[in-house]
Structure 1
Amino acid sequence: MSETSASGNWALVAHAKEDVRIEALPEPDPAPDEAVVEIAYGGICGSDLHYWLHGAAGQSILREPMVLGHEIVGTVLTAAADGSGPAAGARVAVHPATEVDDGSAPYPSDRPNLSPAGTYLGSAARMPHTHGAFASRAALPARMLRAIPEGLDLRLAALAEPAAVAWHGVGQAGEIAGRRVLVIGTGPIGALAIAVAKHHGASEIIATDLHEHPRALAERLGARALDARDADAIAAVHADVVIESSGTVPGLTAAISGARRGGTVVMLGLQRAGEIAVPMASAITRELTLVGSFRFNDEIDDVLAALADGSLDAGAVISHELPITDGLRALELARDASLSSKVLLTFASAETEGVGR
């Protein structure tokens, strides 16, 4: 363990599989279109866990040290020199995506999330890697910064990015009001999908998970919970809309089983690369609509407004918060779905506490 200095810019850095370190970074050196943000909270995402546990998130392989983290909120310390973006003192959430059209493949202009060479904070998809912002202070493009509405505290605003993923996924199903919704997998994104479906006026929400903790959370959020191993109960749901958020092959199979004839299945959880075996004949003969969902576009603005006015009731999804000095313990907690939901890192205490690997 080493003592921090008063000005230490402490960050969570992935070096390789099972090698994540808490390190002091140089102070941010912003480009003219970048603001320096003092990070308050950072939510641990499944991709952060994959870089830690496997040295890769899907096909994005760590080839150099990379600062983790893309679910972040904080306060602008220094506004962008070019005059763009929020002023110093503004509380902000971060939209971590950058649209890049390199001409390699066409995509709809109104869906920048599908840009073929797009980048994301805390992603090893490109070289050099796109550093994240699990750090005490970070230089971020001003265009990424979204003002946090008055009255919305930073802790709750830390859910904005993952809730935007859920908002986009639920939106892929079309109209939700008055419909029966089944959510497969009640990890953080699934739990937020429940909150979003409730916000959008679903008449009934049923959720599944293997573990008691997320099932209890689902019920707190207004869903009826089922054990994910109860195939008969899931098949009897006959949901108008199914949100598959587990990202597992059994989960996708359950999603197809739980949809009514003519229903819609949104594939929100990212499946493993390569071929997977699912009951496509059932999807075909029951005329199911299967639709993908990838990240989000401007839904983060709707999420911030809904969190601020209380219509999106999602605070229960936050299960733990730990200082950056306990970053490795936070990763351990976040990987255990039987104990945790959304785990937040806090950064204010890094100046007074010891840090280590």
Structure 2
Amino acid sequence: MSSEPATLAPAQVPALLAYSAGDVRVENIPVPNAADDQAVVRVAYGGICGSDLHYWKHGAAGQSILREPMVLGHEIVGVVQTAAADGSGPPAGTPVAVHPARYGHSPERFPNERPNISAGVSYLGSAARLPHTAGGFAERIVLPARMLRELPAQLSLRTAALLEPASVAWHAVSRAGDIAGKRVLVVGAGPIGALIVATAVARRAAEVIAVDLHELPLRIAREVGAARTIIATDAAAVQAVDADVVIESSGSHRGLASAIAGATRGGRVVMVGLLPDGDQPVPIATAITRELDLVGSFRFHDEMGEVIAALAAGTLSIDPIVTHEFPLDAALTALETAADASSSGKVLLRF
């Protein structure tokens, strides 16, 4: 008999992996050993994002192409199961949200206070690098403690599951400047657009108007504070808004054209919807002659703390945005539901 000690196999947990276009699977994966600065988190909910849908449908999200199986998901909340050994993070039993960005070195210049636009950023559930950065759609995940944000006791994990996209929305509204007392038009009222509506209301916009192609997202927009809504095909009504600030969250060139049309002269258009790569047909002459400010907005940096505070204080209302919840073993149904913007808002996976 060998005198060598037996090697224990790593614990296995179910997770949602994307292999290629149209090929997603729920499979058991090993839980890696945690380094001293890492915590083990038992995941409670994961929100399905547009990038998850792109990996499922197309095998790529923009220029990030699947070249190996990858765990999906970056909108994650859960409870710390094992705290970081070096004491750098929250203790076991603490409910947490995950900030999905890791900031690394980049040779390309960027403003120090805006690391979200650094080329050195990696994001959970992203195929931008090889090996890919595994996401959080698994029953247990191991993460650096610095990526965890402690949640107040009064904030439910189901509501907190929207923290990552709500931080994207908060950042987008911040890129508009001070919106207090201003008329704000939101083009595209899907989950991000609805969160932008709720954020604009929380930050004291005088009036928020939402535009979308479908009635369900428009109804949700009204539930979170939009004063009125417009069907996107009504071009005259969109142009008549004459908004001080327009936030484009549809991610289409038609949406951007509507945003430019609906902005007042000298207004600002914030572009948060990610358009496809390549040239886009946009009425840029109108933006020039009206002296519009066209401003990009990409992900977020440290706004998650502000969003947590607003949710805990009750000044930010977002619960109506979650329309569906599925267990992990119904992940394919969850993806199919999330892909239908006419019948769903934010879709959650429950772990």
**So what's the TM-score if we normalise by structure 2?**
0.96
Q: How does 1:1-357 map to 2 (within 5 A)?
A: 9-103=13-107, 105-223=108-226, 224-347=228-351
SS at match of 1:35: strand
Shift of the alpha carbon at 1:149?
1.3
Question: Percent identity over the alignment?
Answer: 62
The code of the aligned residue for 2:37 comes to: D
Q: Deviations over 1:191-241 (max 9, x none)?
A: 000000000001101101101111111111221110001111000000000
Shift of the alpha carbon at 1:150?
2.2
Please give the alpha-carbon distance, in whole angstroms, between the structure 2 residues aligned to 1:71 and 1:343. Answer: 11
Shift of the alpha carbon at 1:101?
2.0
Q: Contact (CA 8 Å) 1:28, 1:36: kept in 2 or not?
A: no
Please give the alpha-carbon distance, in whole angstroms, between the structure 2 residues aligned to 1:106 and 1:27. Answer: 36
**So what's the TM-score if we normalise by structure 1?**
0.94
Shift of the alpha carbon at 1:102?
2.5
Gaps of 5+ in 1: 1-6, 348-357
SS at match of 1:155: helix
Please give the alpha-carbon distance, in whole angstroms, between the structure 2 residues aligned to 1:82 and 1:118. Answer: 24
Q: Deviations over 1:236-290 (max 9, x none)?
A: 0000000000000000000000000000000010011011110111000000000
Please give the alpha-carbon distance, in whole angstroms, between the structure 1 residues aligned to 2:274 and 2:49. Answer: 13
SS at match of 2:246: strand
The ranges of structure 1 where at least 4 consecutive aligned residues each deviate by more than 6 angstroms after the TM superposition are: none
Total equivalences in the alignment: 340
Please give the alpha-carbon distance, in whole angstroms, between the structure 2 residues aligned to 1:40 and 1:169. Answer: 27
The code of the aligned residue for 1:243 comes to: I
Q: Which moved more, 1:173-182 or 1:82-91?
A: 82-91
Q: Contact (CA 8 Å) 1:179, 1:203: kept in 2 or not?
A: yes
Please give the alpha-carbon distance, in whole angstroms, between the structure 2 residues aligned to 1:43 and 1:201. Answer: 27
Q: Contact (CA 8 Å) 1:28, 1:137: kept in 2 or not?
A: no
Please give the alpha-carbon distance, in whole angstroms, between the structure 2 residues aligned to 1:30 and 1:64. Answer: 23
Q: Deviations over 1:125-148 (max 9, x none)?
A: 011100001000000111000000
Gaps of 5+ in 2: 1-10
The code of the aligned residue for 1:86 comes to: P
Please give the alpha-carbon distance, in whole angstroms, between the structure 2 residues aligned to 1:111 and 1:102. Answer: 13
The code of the aligned residue for 2:319 comes to: G
